[in-house]
Structure 1
Amino acid sequence: MEKKLDKFIAYDIGAISVNRAVVDKGGHITDVLEYTRHYGEPVKIILKDLKELIKRHNPVTFSAFAFTGSGGKNLANLLDFVFINEIEAITTAVKSIYPEVKTVIEIGGQDSKFIDIAAGDYAMNELCAAGTGSFLDQQASRFNLTIEEFCRLALRSAKPSTIAGRCSVFAKSDMIHLQQEAAKDENIALGLCYAMARSFKSGIVKGKKFEPPIIFCGGVSYNEAITKAFEDILKEKIIIPDYRHSIGAIGAALNLALKKFKKEANLIEVSEKLEQFLKNFKYKKETFKPLIIEKSIIPESSYQKNKLDIKGRNNKVDAYIGVDVGSISTNVVAIDRNKKLIQKVYLRTAGRPIEAVRKGIAIIGKEAGRYLNVKAIGTTGSGRYLIGDLVGADLVINEITAQATAAVDIDPAVDTIFEIGGQDSKYISLENGVVVDFEM
């Protein structure tokens, strides 16, 4: 008869990561997989880990095997192993390792959970992933940062910006407007962390009490800025556990040990079944082509060479500069007294409106600056006030008025304008060249 280890193994398959724990019959944690992102291929991660376990353990037959997590049920059914609910798994782990804890905050890649251990109650987020790890990943990418760099950036702030946290679309809008106002990146980053903590308290917990001691686990608990936000908002010290990413896996394995499950699992046989599953699944790592605009050219930047007749020119031309600072693009133009275009520049704002405007004006200056006598400068767009102060604008004007003025100058008979930009959409109605109605 094959010998077996009196140990219990469990995998927690989440939306973003795979976590694994091994415990002995006494409930002691003997082996934990480090935090591992699966990038949509959890079975491959499990197979790789099983092969490492097989090298380290002899014999390779465990007392029992379990799965938990949002992606665990299908594999549990496939392999005929037990599936343990995430809430039960987390509660078991916390009760066993931190018996004094009364409240659990668990935030992973796609789910957020509140567990009131004392009352036996819990709450989870709905389908929307705003306020989870994937939400933070998405916002960090807007800064062109990894999540680790984003965390370090947020910790540099002492004054978090105010940002909506219940919806990633609203959060993005708030971030863009803050960037247009030259808010510091670290304040925006910390503001997102505070928004996430406030959203958890109001949208998930919904008035329930956070009974201390409070523990914070899940992959997001590695973000110290989120912990800082929770401690500030709840006015309580938060416990960060060892193996914070693996609490679910530990709890599932402990369930097996405490309930003395006796369904042996040979790791070699499990590996073979998973390899066969991958072969039969005929998985092709293919995705649909990203949505792209094929019939329009939207450059990262472009500019039109100046249209001045500079041959033999000694005198300067009176010029007027217009700057439109939007969420996605920044446009700088120069026209003469007769409203004739001298030069135009298109640049991506990229969250850095000041740098974009400086670059745009520098391009015009290099191309035609020595021939221009700049009489006035005007700004419009969502960043008009910031840039107006920066350049000492003679006129700061709203987009509705600016667009209507230009449209009427091009065609006095125009009565309707539709404008769709990176963050705003507008409908403008005119009568006899005057704006009579608009919607945004």
Structure 2
Amino acid sequence: MELTVGVDVGSTTVKVVIYEGEKLLFKHYERHLSQVRQKTAEILAEAKDLLIGREFKAAISGSAGLGLSKATGIDFVQEVFATGEAVKKYASDTDVVIELGGEDAKIIFFTGGMEERMNGTCAGGTGAFIDQMASLLAVTPDELDKLSANYEKIYPIASRCGVFAKSDIQPLLNQGARKEDIAVSIFQAVVDQTITGLAQGRQIKGKVLFLGGPLFFLKGLQRRFKETLRLSDENAVFPDLGPYAVAIGTSIFARKQERSYTYEDFLARITQASDDSDRTEYLEPLFKDEGEYEEFRARHAKATVERRDIASYYGGAYLGIDCGSTTTKMVLLSEDDKILYEYYSSNKGNPVTIVKEQLEQIYKLCGDHVIMKGSAVTGYGEDLIKNAFNVDAGLVETMAHLRAARFFNPKVDFILDIGGQDIKCFKVKNNCIDSIMLNEACSSGCGSFIETFAKSMGYDIATFANFGLFSKYPVDLGSRCTVFMNSSVKQAQKDGATVEDISAGLSMSVVKNAIYKVIRARSADELGKELVVQGGTFLNDGVLRSFEKELGHDVVRPEIAGLMGAFGAALFSKSLHKDVSSVIKPGDLRRFEHTAKATICQGCTNKCNLTINTFSGGRRFISGNRCERPLGQKETQEVPNLFEYKLNRIKALRSPKGTRGRIGIPLGLNMIENLPFWFTFFTELGFEVVLSDISSRQLYLTGQYSIPSDTACYPAKLMHGHIESLISKGVDMIFYPCMSYNFDEKTADNHFNCPVVAYYPELLYGNMEKLHHVKFLYPYLGLHNRTYFNRSIRNFINKEICIIPYSEIRRASSKAYQAYAKWGEDVKTEGRRALKYAKDHHLKTIVLAGRPYHIDPEINHGIDRLISSFGIVVVTEDAVAHLVEPQKVKVLNQWTYHARLYNSAKYVTTQENMELIQLVSFGCGIDAITTDEVRDILESGGKMYTQLKIDEINNLGAVKIRIRSLLEAMDERSRREHE
């Protein structure tokens, strides 16, 4: 019988199957560690006895198979087509196929119209994503699977990109969350990404066939898919040959081809192709030769700190701890600022244990001849470590790094710190912080960016980084996100690039990402001349050299670049001037125990996911809160908060029973600000107005299945849940108009709504099948012109709802316009009250500026309450924008909400003790315009620009750092102004 060979060369694995007719003779599944051609040849060699002496047909498939096919001349079949061939032959009653590979994800709908969808250049929600997360937890994928079986709760974790997810997981680890809960949350994130990123609004139902390695080997992932999609055992099929589906389909495709091969010919094609090289684009080498490298090393070796033998030292010591996103660093300083002890290592997902072990070691070395006089902690795990070990003080990261940088260069004017997942950079002007920039959720310019690739190629990061120092042809990989970069690296490998070339290229890419994507500098010259760089990533000489080459001049990299946070914290602890530190004593340390339990706070509507950490003696620390309530600490004063004020006004609305029916209004996007208008209008017409529930994570999940794009902003995605909420309330009709224009406030060149806000009702109707079975009203209307509105709404109501006299409609319209105007005046009045309160009580004020719908607690994730917990007055942009003349900006100012941003930014520059924080939703394209303009307005007026990006994930770790850094900078600037 005829032999056929199917080869599936995926992004991370090679699968080979050999069939004789319908009989499976051979199957093999193995990771290729980017050595795709060599590994394919090795597997074929294992099947030599089956193939030698016989002719066979063969084909290649897979995301990394196309280059191999071109190089060998062997027929190629697209992997989605190959999957379809296998399913049609062996599981023809399948309705939907979901296949997850290493970096590829596919979904094929067979019932209701054949449709195939595949991920693009993003590997979020795939096997590579799971590998990265397992590495973060310091476990294997198999161990991750076993952990997930014993979960108690599920945390929301971003899945569209591995680096986003790390930014969510690491703070959970630092707060003491259970690994079992994080493990299952990782699997749930993969499921969510499949539903939103691949299905994109099309329902997954019927018999679902799950294929690919991750879905075969990981039982926890199987369970999450079954439970989330509500599939029975009969409808959720995980076949034994699941990992080989593409290879099987490829062998079926091969049967139809004319060309045959012998074993010797086929193997020769594979092995010879492995030596092909077609690389043409490369960059200038990092170093010309070893002599230039030695000169480089000697220059940077001058920025050092003296060490002192702790065994021979007698006196006081100061401890600094930096519990970072992926590593824990500790420094013990002598009275004269010499290092007595230092530690730098991965926190292995358990920073409390690491710190305990290191404190035991320090006390052992200190004996009775070194007295601990001060201690301070900084980093993501600051609160947890401070409470666990009674550390004297906590210090926000930016201030710790500033203290450390000044130690090496008192004239420093720009500090760039690149850690595992975090970039902190700030300008120093007049010896105080002038502006602060941190990455929010993307770590493409961070150490984990290189570490990810190092591990994927089978190297530790230090070995991999050194490979690139003397590469003659560094690959130009540009500046892209980590998972996007995967495709560039794979292509470079196909073109013959060596590991050395890729290592050098990645070092250069990290630098470009940091400068042009995070700092968003128009040119490298903007970074200043007296630069200090720090963080573990700059211990990589390739990254440091790339940075200097991009800048065009030398920088200072302290020899303790990876310890700067801990070093700064130790210096800060000296300034406390304590005789003896309160840090845990050796006896208590020996008896120290730590347990963690997850729960949900019921203190307010935020419903925060809390972790209750219990320490020896019954001491407790509750982490994960977005305000001070869960900690049992009462606020010293109830400061004004306009976010809370506006939300409470909405919650207080009550509609009487109507004679003309119940009309539902979704509580999201522009309908939040226009609610006073529509609520009054329909109530006056005799309708009972029913609002959708206040947004929550659960509300979002109810509508998640119908979201057609994962790149839409979170406020838009929530609208699907609001529609589901209204449908569940059994309203007679749902009213959600399309509105190209907003109210004309006469402050801008025009008064458009953004396209998403204006036309999302159309999208909802097109993607939510349920809306075809209810009365969904989405007319095109405009409130900016009363005459036009009265005519258009009369015609629409009379045609679509019922006949209502025009006089009654005009009267209701008049009342609605009055209600909207009064609502706006009430907000301004409350704003004046808040500003007066801040002035009378000598408090700081933050203008938390964004869109009106950012008052939604599920969108802002309690950021307003977090700011209030610091005793800061919070006002909104619409409460102060009218207090200055309309601003002239460099761009076409045609959006109402944008005009408010610009005006409120200008107002902030006229006030003391006031700053602006801009809220930006991920996926908001037009905010790319506002961020630059708002920054220019603020900085030209001597203020600092702070931006917070928000999406469906509610981790506020980075947000808290931004806010605390801003407050510290305000305090320091104020102190220096009064000196």
CA gap 1:33/1:45 in 2 versus in 1, 3 angstroms: farther
Q: Deviations over 1:280-339 (max 9, x none)?
A: 6489xxxx9999998368xxxx974349864xxxxxx67664433223342243566xx8
Query: Residue 92 in 1 paired to residue 96 in 2?
Result: no
- Inter-CA distance 385–6: structure 2 relative to 1 (3 Å threshold): same
Letter in 2 for 1:305: D
Structure 1 stretches of 5 or more lacking a match? 311-316
Which residue does the alignment assign to 1:106?
A: 99
Q: Does 1:12 align with 2:8?
A: yes
1:39-438 superposed matches below 5 A: 39-56=33-50, 60-62=54-56, 64-77=57-70, 80-118=73-111, 119-221=113-215, 222-237=217-232, 238-257=236-255, 260-277=256-273, 281=276, 295=297, 304-306=308-310, 310=314, 321-327=319-325, 328-333=327-332, 343-351=340-348, 352-372=350-370, 374=372, 377-402=375-400, 418=415, 420-422=417-419, 423-427=422-426, 429=428, 438=436
Amino acid at match of 2:342: V
Does the Cα contact within 8 Å between 2:51 and 2:262 map onto a contact in 1? Answer: no
The 2-side partners of 1:426 and 1:79 are apart by 48
Structure 2: gaps spanning 5 or more residues: 288-292, 439-979
Q: 1: distance between equivalents of 2:185 and 2:88?
A: 33
Cα distance between partner residues in 2 of 1:379 and 1:210: 48
Displacement of 1:90: 0.5
Spell out, residue by residue over 1:329-386, the C-alpha distance to the aligned partner (whole angstroms, 9 max, x if none).
Answer: 42243566xx866845333243332233224433432333424555664332221111
Match of 2:8, SS state, is strand
- Could you give the per-residue CA deviations for residues 2-35 of structure 1, whole angstroms, max 9, x where no partner exists? xxx334332222222222233455xx24224121
> 1:117: Cα distance to partner?
1.5
Deviates more, 1:226-235 or 1:360-369: 360-369
Aligned partner letter, 1:347: Y
- Residue 104 of structure 1, CA deviation: 0.8
Q: 1:246 Cα shift?
A: 1.0
| C-alpha distance in structure 2 between counterparts of 1:80 and 1:401, whole Å | 60
Amino acid in the other structure paired with 1:18: V
Shift in Å at residue 180 of structure 1?
Answer: 1.7
Equivalent position SS for 2:130 = helix
What is the distance in 2 between the residues matched to 1:29 and 1:290? Answer: 54
Q: For residue 313 of structure 1, what is the aligned residue in structure 2?
A: none
Does the Cα contact within 8 Å between 1:330 and 1:353 map onto a contact in 2? no
Q: Distance in 2 between matches of 1:167 and 1:57?
A: 42
Tell me: CA distance 1:209–1:370, structure 2 relative to 1, closer, same or farther (3 Å). same
Show CA shifts across 1:373-400 (max 9, x none): 5566433222111111111234333234
Shift of 1:243: 1.2
Verify the 8 A CA contact 1:60 1:268 in the aligned structure 2. Answer: no
What TM-score comes out, normalization by structure 2 length? Answer: 0.38
2:83–2:246: 8 Å Cα contact kept in structure 1? yes
**Is the contact between residue 67 and residue 83 of structure 1 (CA under 8 Å) also seen in structure 2?**
yes
Q: Which moved more, 1:38-47 or 1:171-180?
A: 38-47
Mapped partners of 1:430, 1:220: distance in 2: 51
Contact preservation (8 Å) 2:125, 2:160 = yes
More helix by share: 2
Q: What SS does the aligned partner of 1:232 have?
A: helix
Residue 160 of structure 2 aligns to a residue in which SS? coil
Letter in 2 for 1:114: I
Whether contact under 8 Å (2:332, 2:339) holds in the other structure is yes
Secondary structure (helix, strand or coil) at the match of 2:267 reads helix
Distance in 2, matches of 1:76 and 1:407, equals 53
- The Cα shift of 1:52 comes to 4.5
* C-alpha displacement of 1:210: 0.7
**Amino acid in structure 1 at the alignment position of 2:225:** F
Tell me whether 1:38 sits opposite 2:38 in the alignment: no
Alpha-carbon distance between aligned partners in 2 of 1:340 and 1:265, rounded to the nearest angstrom: 72
Deviation track 1:260-290 (CA, whole Å, cap 9, x = no partner) reads 5444433343234445555x6489xxxx999
Contact 2:19/2:26 (<8 A) preserved: no
Residues 260-269 or 7-16, more deviating: 260-269
User: Identity over aligned residues, as a percent?
Assistant: 25
Aligned to 1:314: none
**Which of the two has greater strand per residue?**
1
CA distance in 1, matches of 2:71, 2:392: 70
Q: TM-score, normalised by structure 1?
A: 0.78
- CA apart distance, 1:58: 8.1
Amino acid of the structure 1 residue aligned with 2:237: I
- Tell me how far 1:250 sits from its aligned partner: 1.1
Q: What's the Cα RMSD here?
A: 3.9
User: 1:320–1:116: structure 2 CA closer, same or farther, 3 Å change rule?
Assistant: same
